[in-house]
Structures are given as C-alpha cells and as structure tokens.
A and B are shown apart, each in its own frame.
Chain A
Amino acid sequence: MAQLAASSKRVTTRFRAHSVLPGFNLALGFTLLYLSLIVLVPLSALFFKTATLGWGGFFDVLTNDRVLSSLRVTFLASLAAAVINAFFGLIVAWVLVRYTFPGKRIVDALVDLPFALPTAVAGITLATLYAPHGWIGQYFAAQGIKVAYTPLGIVVALTFIGLPFVVRTVQPVLEDVEAGVEEAAASLGAGRWDVFRRVIFPAIFPALLTGFSLAFARAIGEYGSVIFIAGNMPYISEISPLLIVAKLEQYDYAGATAIAVIMLLISFALLLGVNALQWWTSRRGVR
C-alpha cells in the first residue's frame, strides 16, 4: 500500500493520504454539504440571534428569576435522575451480565424501551401512573407525598428517559472483566466485597461515568416526557425547555434563543468535563 502510494505519479494533496478506493470527493462533499445545511447553518442562527441581544440583553435573560429557577429545576432534577440511574443501572447491568434467570432475554430487550417509546407516550403514561389516584401515585398520596405535578414528577420522567444509558455503557465492559483477574484476587485472600471494590469497580468506573453523563445530558434537554407530569408551575416545576417554548409562543424569539444558548453551553461544558475526567481516569488506570 505504501509502495503503491509512493510510486503513484498522481499528485496527492496534503489534505488526505492517497487511496485506491474511489468516491472520496463525492462522499465527503455530500457529507459536508448535508451537515452544513441541516445542522451547522441552523445552529449558527442560534448564536447570531443571541448576538442581536447584546451582552446586556443576554445578561438580563440569564439573571431573570424565572429563567434561573427553571435552570435550577432542570439541573437538580436531571442530576437526581442520573444518580438514581447510575445506582440502579449498575445493579441491572450486573444482574444481566452475571446471573441467569427465566425471561432474562426479554428483560434485556426491555431495557431499551425508553429509546423506542415516544416521549409523549411516556409522559402521559407516567403522569397517569403517578397521579394521586394512579396505580403508583396512590401509595405515595397515602404517605402525603405528591409525585405528579411536582418537581418529584420531573425526576420520575427523567429517570425513565435516562434508564438505558448506564446499563448499556456498563454492560459490555462488565462482560469483558476477565474471571481470571477475580480468581487471582480471590486466591490472594480478597473477600467478595474487596474484589468488587478493588478489581471490578475500577474497571467499570469510566463506563459508569460515561453512562451517568449521557443520562444527565439527555435529561437536561428532555421535554416531551416531562411536561405532562411536571405541572409546569413557574419558579417551581417549570423546566428550561418549556420556558423556551413559552417565550416562543409570546414571539420573544431573542429571549428563547438566549436560554437555548445557555443550555447548549452548559451541556457542552458538561460533556467536555466528562471527557477530561475520563481521560484522567484512563491515564490513572494505565499507571
């Protein structure tokens, strides 16, 4: 291959290495055109629109009480849901990888339901289940706890939406943990809990972190499943995506866009932070 490239009389651009395969220009050209038209140009409109507000206007939106409350509700509920999913997702992944029980394959397939079930369907169903007279809500109501139409309902919806992420990121890594390593640790006198804490957990921790952050990021932007169960009370159970819609309905395009930009920036910061953390843990693992 290298010989072929070297002997080739054709001028190879420095942009790409030579290849005998055809179709590069067509494939990359179409990819870039489609990417620009569908994603990049529309997303850039977001930043240009925000720029029309100026720094002062942007800052006013950012420090508005209702906007701040919505951001707080969105992030706290997303964080709570991601923590719940990290904990139970780990147990589910463990059970699916390590144990056998009847119906396991169906249970395994069912884990992806939140990816396949439209969010609006999830929303109306969860709202019905967790309403004060609903199948689940009645037990909470008996304890004096209101789930639907409160921030607690938002956590329920976001837990549903984020459920597959931790399971699906941890599962393959857990499958790859070799039995030999565990046996070695055990034969050196480690108890079961020690083996998990010192051998298995460090191996799956980066995957757990990835799943956690994917669930968290997904929850922050979620709209469809939340609005039915949240009650949508300003300052209390109003999420940021809903506030964007509310501002759009009042034709406050700049205000809506400013919130969208804030959410985007926070999501990107989150993803960057997680990447850095993963890089750090993988380096620690190598050493």
Chain B
Amino acid sequence: MAITTRIATHESKAVTLLFIGVALTYLLLFLGLPLFAVFYQAFSKGWDLYWVALQEPDAWSAIKLTFIAAGIAVPCNLVFGIAAAWAIAKFEFKGKSLLITLIDLPFAVSPVVSGLVYVLLFGAQGWFGEWLQAHDIKLLFAVPGIVLATIFVTFPFIARELIPLMQAQGKEEEEAAVSLGASGWQTFWRVTLPNIKWGLMYGVILCNARAMGEFGAVSVVSGHIRGMTNTMPLHVEILYNEYNFVAAFAVASLLALLAVVTLAVKSLVEWQAKRSGEPLHGA
C-alpha cells in the first residue's frame, strides 16, 4: 500500500528527470541562449570596438532620450497608480469594475496601434494637427510624442499592481488613523505607503523596464531622427538594418543588462516581501 501511494502522488525518477530535462531544454533554448548571444555578439569583435560603439554621439543621445522618456513616464504612472488604487480600494462607488477594465485597456492594444492613436491626434492630418502647426508646437516626431507613447504603453503597470494589493489590505488601518486625528496625507504617508511599499516597487521596476524597452509605439511616433528622436531600442534597429551588427548588439547589451538587473531587483523585492511577511500581491 505504501508503495502504491508513493507512486500515485509522485512521479517515478525517470519521469521526473524527463520533465526537468524538457523544461530546462525549452528554457535554455528560448531564454538562456538568446540572453547569452546578446553579450557574445556585442563582444565578438573585442572590447575596443564595443567601447567605440557605445561612445558614438548618436548612441549617447539615444541613451539620454531613453532615460528622459522613462524618467517622465514612470513618475506620471506612479502618481496615477496610487490615485487610482486609493479611489478603487478604499471607496465603494458605481462603475468600479468598468473603471478597472478601462485601466487595463492599453495592455489589449498593439504597441503599433498605441503609437498610431497619437499620430491621429497630433499628426499633420490629425485632430489637433493644424492648431499645433499654427502655434508652432511639435509633439509628433519629437520628444513629447515619445514620452506620451511611453506613458500609454506603461499606463496600467503600477495601477494593476496596487489595486488588488490595497483591496486585499482593506481600509481598517486608515480608518483607525483618521479617527485618531491623522490628516489624509499623514494617513497615506505613515499607514498606507509602508503597507504597499513592496508592491509599489515591484510595479515601478516592471513599468521602468517596459518604458525603457518600448519599441513599437515609440517607433511610430518618433520619426527616427538620428541623434534627436531615437531611443535605445530604435537606435538598435537602425544599426542592425545598416548591418552594423557589433554596434547594434553593443547598444542591445545595455538593454539586456537592464533586463537582467530588472529581474534581479524583482526577485530581491519578492524575497524581501516574503521575508518580512508583508504581502506583495493582492488576492
């Protein structure tokens, strides 16, 4: 009996090894090898060419623009995420589930379409195109358009992390603070924020990774002006299409490094949250 029970709740050694083998082969082929290949290609012609590629003025301006776009988009979506989660998790009102669905909307939209909508608004033939031209304001094929497209594609990241977390935590602690005389801001800074800090960090990390790496949406609104409106992913594309593979992979390796750091910090946040016993995700 003991033997049959053991067989029925665990697989045999051979099956276990087979499953592990299949899983690891699959992950190695699709994840490990590509990640290794980025760095291998970047350094394939030696360190010197790698550094030369990264010191190009166009590469530098692409790096700067990427940081500017993410530096604006992430804080904007952070403020929005906190406001949306506060309204949704701490209050009861009609149309709440519709609001949650609408917040998720950008995830259902193709990146290319996300860029397209801003072309329709601000392009020469767009709704505000003539007005913008008359006032000599350039949004499209310029930095503001890139920032807007980045905000759009990363819109739900922080909100969808915070909403379920704050819903699961309820509002008793905040109500206690307010009834003891704390102001709204005091309550938020001293009660709510410490409770959601891990979830918040988690959302910010993922939001930042996507903001810095976005390609499709930014590609549509950027206009691809070298040294002006190229972000790092767009610069990678241009270099690759010019058959300048070493330079393309050199810039790509910076983005791959960003991805590795993102995964490491994300794992660290998960580990810290688990260790301190504070929830990271909502129910």
Q: Which residues of A contact B (CB under 8 A)?
A: 1, 15-17, 19-24, 26-28, 30-32, 34-35, 38-43, 45-46, 49, 88, 91-92, 94-96, 99, 101, 105, 107, 109-122, 124-126, 128-129, 135-136, 159-160, 163, 179, 182-183, 185-187, 189-192, 195, 217, 220-224, 228, 241-242, 244-245, 248, 251, 253, 256-257, 260, 263-264, 267-268, 271
Which residue on B lies nearest to A17, using beta carbons?
Answer: B92
Are B213 and A99 in contact (CB-based, < 8 A)? Answer: no
Interface of A is mostly: helix
Query: Is B196 in contact with chain A by the CB < 8 A criterion?
Result: no
A21 with B184, Cβ < 8 A, contacts A31-B87, A99-B20, A224-B215 known: yes
Chain B positions within 8 Å of A113 at CB level:
31, 35, 259, 263
Chain B positions within 8 Å of A31 at CB level:
80, 83-84, 87, 99
Chain B nearest CB, measured from A17 CB (Å): 4
Contact of A30 among B83, B120, B151, B155 (CB under 8 A): B83
Tell me the complex Cα distance, A102–B102, Å: 43
Chain B nearest CB, measured from A8 CB (Å): 13
Chain B positions within 8 Å of A109 at CB level:
263-264, 266-267
Tell me the complex Cα distance, A269–B8, Å: 41
Are A42 and B118 in contact (CB-based, < 8 A)? Answer: yes
Chain A positions within 8 Å of B256 at CB level:
117, 121
User: A31-B80, A192-B8 known; 16 other A-B pairs, CB under 8 Å?
Assistant: A17-B93, A19-B92, A21-B175, A42-B118, A43-B117, A46-B116, A95-B20, A117-B34, A118-B258, A120-B233, A122-B34, A183-B9, A186-B7, A224-B111, A228-B240, A267-B109
Are A39 and B155 in contact (CB-based, < 8 A)? Answer: yes
Are B19 and A263 in contact (CB-based, < 8 A)? Answer: no
Tell me the complex Cα distance, A142–B59, Å: 38
Contact of B20 among A101, A163, A189 (CB under 8 A): A101
Are A28 and B93 in contact (CB-based, < 8 A)? Answer: yes
| B:20-38 near A, CB below 8 Å | 20, 22-24, 26-27, 29-35, 37-38
Contact of A125 among B4, B7, B37, B184 (CB under 8 A): B37
A117 with B255, Cβ < 8 A, contacts A21-B91, A163-B31 known: yes
Are A124 and B117 in contact (CB-based, < 8 A)? Answer: no
Are B27 and A110 in contact (CB-based, < 8 A)? Answer: yes
A223 with B116, Cβ < 8 A, contacts A21-B171, A120-B233, A124-B249 known: no
Chain B positions within 8 Å of A35 at CB level:
80, 84, 99, 102-103
A16 with B35, Cβ < 8 A, contacts A21-B184, A115-B206, A253-B123 known: no
A186 with B240, Cβ < 8 A, contacts A92-B23, A99-B16, A136-B29 known: no
Query: Is B112 in contact with chain A by the CB < 8 A criterion?
Result: yes
Are B110 and A223 in contact (CB-based, < 8 A)? Answer: yes
Are A22 and B178 in contact (CB-based, < 8 A)? Answer: yes
Chain B positions within 8 Å of A128 at CB level:
37, 41, 245
Tell me the complex Cα distance, A58–B262, Å: 43
Contact of A112 among B26, B87, B109, B266 (CB under 8 A): B266
Tell me the complex Cα distance, A96–B5, Å: 22
Chain B nearest CB, measured from A275 CB (Å): 10
Are B179 and A19 in contact (CB-based, < 8 A)? Answer: no
Tell me the complex Cα distance, A10–B240, Å: 65
Chain B nearest CB, measured from A24 CB (Å): 5
Chain A nearest CB, measured from B160 CB (Å): 13
A23 with B86, Cβ < 8 A, contacts A42-B121, A91-B19, A121-B236 known: yes
A268 with B108, Cβ < 8 A, contacts A15-B93, A179-B9 known: yes
Contact of A39 among B106, B213, B233 (CB under 8 A): B106
Are A163 and B30 in contact (CB-based, < 8 A)? Answer: yes
A19 with B213, Cβ < 8 A, contacts A31-B80, A113-B35 known: no
